[in-house]
Copies of this chain bind each other. A is one copy, B any other.
Amino acid sequence: MFDCQPSSLGDRRVTLEHLRAFVLLAEGKGFQQAGLQLYRSQSAVTQSLKRLEDILGCKLLERRQGHIMGLTADGERFLPAANEILTRTSEAVSAMKQPEIAGRLLIGVPDDFKVVDLHDAISRCAELNRNLRLEVVSALSSQLLYQIDNSGLDLVILKCLEDFVPSDKRWRSHLLRREPLHWVAAQRHVFESMSEVPLVIFPDGCCYRSAALLALDRNGKHGYGAYVSASYENIRAAVSAGLGIGVLPASALANAHIILGKQEGFPELPMVELVMIQATDKYATKQLADFLSHSATMNPRNVNEYSDHNVSAESPSAGILG
């Protein structure tokens, strides 16, 4: 009965399952869908979240009864922590399931990609394997590929277009993430009406850039770099400021951005992929690859968080404003 002793162990009533339910629900797919992923009934998910809310003493989900819902302010506050806890647990457990990773490994990561999550995952891996020495090299995706043979990289993570995924038979590669590429801008533009397209774009060698130029070419249009930067922050800011039309993957959109699609006459862009390549066949390389590919950090769910509060991007929270 007195379940709530103030022991240093925290409130023992919350379980990881509660957090999982919440995190899944926070994606806004609904109770039914969440239940499917948890191998539980819709009813169970409902009760689970209710229990969690009871324990925390606050509502987490905004439910305008009936259809869809968004997160409450409290929910928004709790979500990052819940994700963090689940990620750490998942990583710690899977790290224990295999022998300790030891040795020295060289990792190549793209410097034109949002890599903070990646860095977190790498550092947690090092924490769980104290005898593992990791060295990270950062370069443009296009260059990393060439460096594999020269620089003795063990594991390489790079982004590329679905049309051109490097598939050397010597290497094992894993698809970490896959998402659509979009034309984005601050306001609506009509493709046909533009003679030249002012692009807000990454430097030469970036595959987003080549995809964009190729697509324009095919449609007999000419694009020019109105704003070029290797930093996501800058690119997003430039697009928001209306300096031109950007080319960004779904996860990198700021909420001020508008997607230019068929209606505006823009050609379709290919999917982009984040690929991990095992360049050496050391056992430790394989282990590290396993760790990273299983890491929840690589999960698209954790991707869509930016500096600006990207609250419930797809729920009708607009209602609050109007």
Contact = CB atoms under 8 A, between A and B. Distances in A.
A209 to B, nearest CB: 30
Given A80-B127, A89-B85, A56 B11 contact: no
A90 B223 CA distance: 53
B93 A84 contact: no
A81 interface: yes
Interface stretch (A13-21, A166-174, A241-249, A253-261): A13-21
Given A58-B96, A130-B77, A88 B90 contact: no
Interface residues of A, number: 49
A130 B76 CA distance: 11
Nearest to A7: B37
A86 interface: yes
A195 to B, nearest CB: 45
A12 B6 contact: no
B88 A85 contact: yes
- Of the listed residues A11, A127, A296, A299, the one surrounded by the most CB atoms of chain B closer than 10 A to its CB is A11
Interface string A34-56: 00011100000000000000011
A100 B77 contact: yes
Nearest to A82: B92
A94 interface: yes
Given A16-B12, A93-B14, A130-B77, A88 B86 contact: no
A56 B81 CA distance: 24
Q: Copy number of this protein in the oligomer?
A: 2
A127 B80 CA distance: 9
A90 to B, nearest CB: 3
A73 B99 CA distance: 11
Contacts of A8: 90, 294, 296, 299, 301
A81 B127 contact: yes
Given A96-B56, A127-B80, A90 B9 contact: yes
A285 to B, nearest CB: 20
Interface in A20-39: 20, 37-39
Contact of A90 (B11, B84, B296, B299): B11
Given A89-B85, A92-B78, A130-B77, A17 B7 contact: no
A12 B17 contact: yes
Given A9-B20, A10-B296, A296-B10, A96 B84 contact: no
A2 to B, nearest CB: 9
A76 to B, nearest CB: 9
Interface of A: 5-12, 14-17, 20, 37-39, 55-58, 73-74, 77-78, 80-82, 84-86, 88-97, 100, 127-130, 294, 296, 299, 301
Given A7-B37, A74-B100, 5 more contacts: A12-B16, A58-B97, A77-B96, A80-B127, A85-B92
